[in-house]
């Protein structure tokens, strides 16, 4: 392989560095703008690096828009959806993997078929349902429609299938109840699956856009993604403040990615995560 | 992680016959485990599907209540309206973003898979767009694409390209949004391809080297066939994803200029939540679903033949 000769290796490093710069440039530039004194933002030729770091941009954006509240809203919604999905999907995934009951094959097929249905088809009726329950501008309105998914059930079923059935037989003979086996043996063994589903669900809920745009219209109920969108209206073309807000909203997701990357990789190969 | 389908259908016979006392509980218990998922899916997935079809046959009032039965009229109107133009925009968007996105993801994965010092860092950087939401990414790119103060036009000025009005010129708006979408999607494509590359057996590649194969021969004859199921999966998911693009459009162009970026999903959103015509919007959503099913089916028909499964 070309890696053995020094010239090839140099070329490879050059390519890798060039690609990395192009990919990460928008993020670094956003951070750079977020720290620039306002006078340097729209100069020509443009500046890449601020002459001095102006942390006040962050304080200003936090004063004019409730960024902390956006972050809290997104955190509450994402955490609730994540925990809820892990709960509902582990129960149903376990039932499909371990239990025998009438209509199991048909029910499983019914679950799986919903994975094909695009979200747009359910969007309008779900909006009407949430509105008629008077749940617009509320956490339940943001959370409820996402508490159970066929995908989560399928993914966890795949992990439960790897738990040896002999284990259950042995536990049952020793007088261990169904639920106790599920709770104290199967669930801990399926931990990688729970973490995969958790990382994926948290990130995708955190990044939701259309649903929170529809069901929230008060300032204090906006999530991070909707808040960032309205930041542009509220701040005009004040890019230094808009970018300060954007960077604040970006950091939690970056941290989750750093922590969950390997689980995501595994999960993608396992279940074929939907885009 | 291969699935075990036989086990799913036929569990092993139990070693002990259940006692009569526990029989009833055993019969009901599985449904108790399924109940939370089943109830939620019934309310927020099964019922809405039926409701969408029902609504699509009615004129609705602004509150979304069906008022006048119109049969298939919404479908007929939709097929003769600007819906077709939106479908054209959507297909063009798929065409701009999916092949380029796949090729870039694959190229990055091949680069970052080489056994070199520091590749972990590059792998992390290449997957970083995964953490950037479409809303935040689009906000950043609105700044980069600003025709006057944006950095992109400034850099292009160096190579003698004049000022491009990326988001307000009907010729450029869709490619510009496509470019942002490719960037946003790159992390996903990269991670997917990288994990596929890591699963290619090392012995196969070594054997090829012994036979005198260079980098290109190895890639073409071993790596690509081995990861073709993943490429295929990425293509199918990529098309579905591109069909559903929303946040980028809403933040960067709001469907403009002169409908150049008015995709189907954006249109459904406008018809339902700006004009409050829920019946017509439901018909459009169902037509979108049908188009997606047909396209996915065609992809399987055309793609499966070229895919090599182990």
Least CB–CB distance from B195: residue in A15, A20, A265: A265
pLDDT above 90 coverage of chain A, percent: 49
B140/A99 touch (CB, cutoff 8 Å), yes or no:
no
Which of A115, A99, A82, A33 minimizes the C-alpha distance to A200?
A: A82
Give the confidence band of A89 by pLDDT, cuts at 50, 70, 90: very high
Give the confidence band of A272 by pLDDT, cuts at 50, 70, 90: very low
The residue written with tokens 């042995």 in the block is A170
The residue written with tokens 């890019």 in the block is A239
**pLDDT above 60 (res B173):** yes
**pLDDT above 90 (res A274):** no
Average pLDDT over residues A82-110: 94
**pLDDT above 60 (res B18):** no
Average pLDDT over residues A235-244: 87
Average pLDDT over residues A77-83: 97
* Residues of B with Cβ-Cβ distance to A57 under 8 angstroms: none
**A57 in Cβ contact with A241 (< 8 Å):** yes
Least CB–CB distance from B285: residue in A101, A120, A182: A120
B265/A226 touch (CB, cutoff 8 Å), yes or no:
no
Cα(B82)–Cα(A189) distance, integer angstroms? 53
pLDDT at residue A265 in the model: 63
pLDDT at residue B130 in the model: 87
A124/B55 touch (CB, cutoff 8 Å), yes or no:
yes
Least CB–CB distance from B286: residue in A121, A206, A242: A121
**A246 in Cβ contact with A228 (< 8 Å):** yes
pLDDT at residue B171 in the model: 93
B46/A30 touch (CB, cutoff 8 Å), yes or no:
no
Between B178 and A40, the more confident residue is B178
**pLDDT above 90 (res A4):** no
Q: Kindly identify which residue of chain B lies nearest to residue A2, measuring between CA atoms.
A: B215
Weakest-pLDDT range from A164-168, A268-272, B65-69: A268-272
A161/B108 touch (CB, cutoff 8 Å), yes or no:
no
* Residues of B with Cβ-Cβ distance to A236 under 8 angstroms: none
Cα(A172)–Cα(B16) distance, integer angstroms? 9
Least CB–CB distance from B136: residue in A94, A182, A249: A249
pLDDT at residue B19 in the model: 54
A92/B247 touch (CB, cutoff 8 Å), yes or no:
no
**pLDDT above 90 (res B307):** no
pLDDT at residue B213 in the model: 81
Instruction: Judge residue A109's burial from the number of C-beta atoms within 10 Å of its C-beta, 0-12 exposed, 13-18 middle, 19 or more buried.
Output: exposed
* Residues of B with Cβ-Cβ distance to A176 under 8 angstroms: none
**Mean of all residue pLDDT scores within chain B:** 87
Least CB–CB distance from A121: residue in B31, B52, B119: B52
**pLDDT above 50 (res B84):** yes
- For residue B171, the distance in angstroms to the closest alpha carbon of chain A comes to 23
pLDDT at residue B20 in the model: 53
Q: Kindly identify which residue of chain B lies nearest to residue A247, measuring between CA atoms.
A: B136
Q: In the Cβ-directed half-sphere of A57, how many Cα atoms lie within 13 Å?
A: 29
Least CB–CB distance from A16: residue in B111, B115, B286: B111
B244/A118 touch (CB, cutoff 8 Å), yes or no:
yes
Q: Choose, out of A15, A41, A125, the residue to mutate when testing the contact with B (most B CBs < 10 Å).
A: A125
ipTM over 0.85? The verdict is yes
Cα(A220)–Cα(A70) distance, integer angstroms? 7
**pLDDT above 80 (res B232):** yes
The residue written with tokens 């949004």 in the block is B177
Cα angle B35, A190, B33 (rounded to 5 degrees) comes to 10
A118/B38 touch (CB, cutoff 8 Å), yes or no:
no
A253/B293 touch (CB, cutoff 8 Å), yes or no:
no
pLDDT at residue B22 in the model: 63
Interval A169-212: pLDDT, tens: 888 888 888 889 999 999 999 988 898 888 889 888 998 999 99
| Secondary structure of residue B244 in the 3-state scheme | coil
A242/B139 touch (CB, cutoff 8 Å), yes or no:
yes
**pLDDT above 50 (res A239):** yes
Weakest-pLDDT range from A43-47, A137-141, B82-86, B296-300: A43-47
**pLDDT above 50 (res B73):** yes
Distances in Å between the alpha carbon of A73 and those of A77, A143, A166, A201, B292? 6, 11, 45, 16, 33
Give whichever of A48-57, B196-205, B240-249 has the largest mean pLDDT. Answer: B240-249
- For residue B137, the distance in angstroms to the closest alpha carbon of chain A comes to 8
Please name every residue paired with B58 in a beta bridge, in sequence order, or none if there are none. Answer: B69
- For residue B170, the distance in angstroms to the closest alpha carbon of chain A comes to 22
**pLDDT above 60 (res A133):** yes
């Amino acid at each position: 392989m070309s890696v053995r000769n020094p010239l090839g290796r140099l070329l490879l490093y050059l390519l890798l560095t060039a690609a990395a710069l192009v990919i990460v440039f928008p993020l670094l530039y956003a951070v750079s703008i977020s720290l620039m004194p306002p006078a340097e933002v729209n100069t020509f030729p443009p500046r890449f690096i601020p002459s001095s770091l102006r942390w006040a941009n962050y304080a200003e954006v936090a004063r004019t828009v409730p960024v902390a509240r956006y972050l809290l809203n997104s955190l509450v919604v994402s955490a609730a959806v994540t925990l809820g999905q892990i709960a509902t999907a582990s129960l149903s995934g376990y039932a499909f993997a371990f239990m025998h009951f009438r209509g199991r094959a048909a029910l499983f097929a019914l679950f799986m078929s919903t994975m094909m249905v695009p979200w747009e088809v359910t969007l309008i009726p779900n909006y009407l349902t949430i509105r008629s329950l008077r749940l617009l501008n509320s956490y339940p309105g943001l959370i409820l429609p996402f508490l159970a998914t066929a995908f989560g059930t399928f993914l966890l079923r795949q992990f439960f299938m790897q738990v040896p059935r002999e284990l259950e037989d042995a536990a049952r003979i020793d007088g261990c109840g169904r639920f106790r086996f599920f709770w104290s043996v199967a669930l801990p063994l399926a931990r990688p699956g729970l973490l995969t589903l958790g990382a994926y669900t948290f990130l995708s809920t955190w990044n939701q856009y259309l649903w929170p745009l529809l069901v929230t219209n008060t300032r204090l109920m906006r999530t991070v993604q909707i808040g960032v969108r309205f930041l542009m209206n509220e701040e005009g073309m004040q890019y230094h403040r808009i970018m300060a807000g954007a960077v604040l909203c970006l950091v939690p997701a970056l941290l989750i990615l750093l922590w969950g990357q390997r689980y995501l990789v595994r999960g993608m190969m396992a279940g074929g995560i939907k885009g | 992680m291969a699935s075990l389908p036989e086990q799913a259908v036929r569990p092993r016979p139990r070693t002990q016959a259940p006692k009569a006392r526990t029989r009833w509980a055993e019969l009901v218990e599985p449904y108790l485990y399924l109940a939370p998922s089943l109830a939620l899916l019934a309310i927020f997935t099964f019922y809405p599907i039926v409701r969408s079809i029902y609504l699509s046959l009615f004129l609705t009032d602004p509150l979304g209540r069906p008022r006048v039965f119109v049969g298939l009229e919404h479908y007929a109107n939709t097929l003769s309206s600007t819906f077709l133009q939106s479908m054209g925009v959507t297909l063009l968007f798929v065409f701009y973003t999916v092949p380029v996105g796949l090729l870039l993801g694959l190229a990055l994965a091949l680069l970052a898979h080489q056994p070199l010092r520091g590749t972990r860092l590059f792998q992390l950087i290449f997957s970083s767009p995964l953490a950037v939401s479409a809303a935040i990414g689009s906000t950043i790119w609105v700044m980069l694409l600003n025709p006057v103060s944006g950095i992109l036009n400034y850099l292009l000025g160096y190579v003698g390209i004049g000022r491009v009005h990326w988001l307000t010129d009907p010729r450029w708006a869709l490619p510009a949004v496509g470019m942002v979408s490719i960037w946003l999607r790159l992390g996903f494509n990269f991670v997917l391809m990288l994990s596929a590359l890591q699963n290619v057996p090392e012995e196969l590649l070594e054997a090829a080297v012994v036979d005198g194969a260079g980098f290109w021969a190895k890639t073409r004859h071993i790596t690509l066939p081995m990861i073709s199921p993943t490429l295929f999966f990425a293509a199918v998911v990529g098309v579905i994803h591109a069909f559903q693009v929303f946040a980028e459009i809403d933040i960067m162009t709001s469907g403009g200029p002169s409908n150049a970026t008015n995709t189907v999903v954006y249109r459904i959103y406008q018809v339902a939540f700006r004009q409050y015509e829920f019946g017509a919007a439901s018909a459009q959503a169902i037509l979108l679903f049908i188009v997606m099913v047909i396209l996915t089916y065609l992809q399987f028909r055309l793609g499966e033949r070229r895919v090599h499964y182990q």
